[in-house]
Chains A and B, each alone.
Chain A
Amino acid sequence: MTDHIDQDRPGRGDGAAGDAHRAKPTSSAFEIILPALGERPAFEVGEAVSVRDRSPIGHYRVPIYLRGHVGTVVRIIEPVLVDNEAEGYGRNAGSRLHYYRVAFPLTELWSRYEGAPGDELHVEIFETWLERAQ
């Protein structure tokens, strides 16, 4: 096999741009660099994401009032950072992923919210707590 580099392996964060540049042969060594799993953000700015609704034992960095709610990614926080929840338990090897700044309408979080309709909550959430909203 000589063309194993072109074998596409869909990975986390492997977006359309990555597929496009591998589709055509190129002479640039830089254009065939394949990012490792987790190296690229899994979610894009503007994407709807839901916060996983799970309740592990211990202190976790995702407030309970946000779990299960749907928000919008407004910023990908660079660089990748250690999962400080795992770090809190002494497990941090290889746990670097992206944090995302996610926006939620306050009227969506609180059914009886009494402010203005445009009011929002923004929060940073680690990648492992997010999934694509259906």
Chain B
Amino acid sequence: MTSVHTDHHDHDHDHAAIEQVDRPGYYEVMETAIRELLIAKGLISAGDIRHQIEVLDSRSPALGAAVVARAWTDPDFKRRLLADGRKGCEELGISFYDDTQLIVLENTSEVHNLIVCTLCSCYPRPVLGLPPDWYKLKPYRARAVSEPRKVLAEFGTHLPDDVEIRVSDSTAAVRYLVLPLRPEGTDDWSPDELAAIVTRDAMIGVIPVTIGGEAA
């Protein structure tokens, strides 16, 4: 159970105390047990775990957006990126700490790409950071491969039937990143200005990139 806290710290509004009140679940217990065993046996240290969390936290959609903006403004880079997504990102200094490969999927007027991992939550973490919660939940995972147009419609994305929906199910060693269509009217924009409108969801493929966030 939770209770309103009474001890006064640095802010003056009331909220429920942030504390763990439930018994840890099965997987929490398993994670704790394995972590403690690995540390006790000297295979990894607590510092290693903390460092890896910092590695994960250092990755965010801003990296992917910079990759997309560069591809939109540098045709040679775009060609290399589409030939080998991982090498293209590595050119910009993005390391692949999880040793995955990356395929960059270009949206065109004929093909719209959508990414899912039906088995779990494979995601291009080196370039986008952690996936959103909905990406990891079973409704998205099951429906993205069986009724992708309905899923896209729920995100506000309506595509005509002559645009092919191409769903990529990441299952093993390869991760995917969508290279969205560059919006019209951005010809004179700088890479930084372009990167600012490229969102995480557009790089998963559930929405297009738009100017000013208007609906598709």
Q: Does B167 contact A (CB under 8 A)?
A: yes
**Which of B119, B164, B169, B172 contacts A118 (CB under 8 A)?**
B164
Number of residues of chain A lying within 8 A (CB) of chain B: 28
CB distance from A23 to the nearest CB of B (A): 32
Contact A119 B166 (CB under 8 A): yes
Contact B173 A106 (CB under 8 A): no
**Which of B119, B146, B161, B167 contacts A122 (CB under 8 A)?**
B167
Number of A-B contacts (CB under 8 A): 83
Q: Does B103 contact A (CB under 8 A)?
A: yes
Contact B165 A124 (CB under 8 A): no
Contacts of B171 in A (CB 8 A): 61-63, 123-125
Q: Does B210 contact A (CB under 8 A)?
A: no
Report the bound CA distance from A103 to B171 in whole Å.
Answer: 14
Contact B169 A63 (CB under 8 A): yes
Q: Assess A61 versus B172: contact at CB under 8 Å? Given A81-B101, A106-B167.
A: yes
Report the bound CA distance from A59 to B163 in whole Å.
Answer: 35
Q: Assess A116 versus B167: contact at CB under 8 Å? Given A63-B119, A101-B103, A124-B174.
A: no
Contacts of A114 in B (CB 8 A): 147, 149-150
Q: Which of A62, A109, A123 has the most CB of B within 10 A?
A: A123
Binary contact readout A99-134 vs B (1 if CB under 8 angstroms, 0 otherwise): 101000010011001111011111111100000000
Contact A99 B174 (CB under 8 A): yes
Q: Does A89 contact B (CB under 8 A)?
A: no
Contacts of B167 in A (CB 8 A): 106, 119-122
Contact A81 B173 (CB under 8 A): yes
Q: Does A84 contact B (CB under 8 A)?
A: yes
A interface residues (Cβ-Cβ under 8 A, vs B): 59, 61-63, 65, 75, 77, 81-82, 84, 99, 101, 106, 109-110, 113-116, 118-126
B interface residues (Cβ-Cβ under 8 A, vs A): 101, 103, 118-119, 145-150, 161-174
